[in-house]
């Protein structure tokens, strides 16, 4: 008899619990946000592949004194994903204060990159196409939310190039550019 009562209670509560949960915005198939998300996915895939290909022993390597090391570049990417999203009115997650360029453990660095990309993806999905024309201030300049997303991609591409150069200087071929693929 008790299992029947439990089932009845669950059947009564589940629809209201499901309705209370906010729906995940659908991934756009066309338009700027679709293009942004596709580019973001490609960048994340390359960053993760390159970070995995780089040996842990090389994460402290830097091309010269006063220049970011391998792990510092990756952690800069993770922290910048959060920072640049603040121009879109998004506060960094409460647990993001651990994002520091001092993290050197390969697995922790890769986890930080993944989380920052996931959070950035959530920001893009939370916006509507109409909101992309919203006027904002970014680095003291008048711009739009769309331009902020473009700045994010530009920043990510810039540091991907830097990361590729670091990898090649350490004898690591980017996985997506190997001849065996």
Cβ contacts of 78 within 8 Å, gap of 6 or more: 99, 109, 112, 113, 115, 116
Contact status, residue 129 vs residue 32, Cβ threshold 8 Å: yes
Confidence check: pLDDT of 111 > 90: yes
144 vs 46, 124, 161, 178, CA distance in Å? 28, 14, 26, 39
Summarised one tens digit per residue, pLDDT across range 54-81 is 999 999 999 999 999 999 999 999 999 9
Contact status, residue 84 vs residue 148, Cβ threshold 8 Å: yes
Q: How many CB atoms lie within 10 A of CB 19?
A: 8
**Average per-residue pLDDT for the chain:** 87
Percentage of the chain beyond pLDDT 70 is 80
Which position has the token pair 């190997």? 178
The Cα–Cα gap between 151 and 15 comes to 42
The token pair that represents 34 in the structure block: 């679709």
pLDDT at 93 (0 to 100) = 77
Q: How many CB atoms lie within 10 A of CB 94?
A: 6
pLDDT at 180 (0 to 100) = 60
Longest CA–CA separation in the chain, Å: 73
| Structural domains for the chain | 43-53+67-176 (1.20.120.450)
């Amino acid at each position: 008899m008790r299992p029947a009562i439990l089932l009845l209670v669950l059947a009564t509560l589940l629809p209201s619990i499901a309705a209370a949960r906010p729906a995940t915005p659908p991934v756009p198939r066309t338009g700027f946000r679709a293009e942004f998300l596709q580019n973001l996915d490609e960048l994340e895939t390359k960053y993760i592949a390159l970070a995995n290909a780089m040996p842990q022993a090389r994460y402290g390597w830097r091309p010269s004194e006063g220049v970011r090391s391998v792990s510092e570049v990756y952690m800069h990417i993770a922290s910048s994903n959060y920072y640049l999203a603040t121009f879109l009115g998004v506060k960094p997650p409460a647990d993001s204060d651990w994002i520091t360029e001092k993290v050197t453990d390969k697995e922790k660095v890769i986890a930080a990159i993944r989380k920052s990309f996931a959070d950035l993806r959530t920001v893009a999905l939370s916006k509507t196409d109409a909101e992309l024309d919203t006027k904002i201030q970014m680095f003291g300049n008048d711009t739009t939310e769309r331009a902020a997303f473009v700045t994010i991609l530009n920043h990510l591409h810039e540091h991907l190039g830097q990361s590729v150069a670091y990898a090649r200087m350490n004898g690591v071929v980017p996985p997506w550019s190997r001849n065996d693929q």
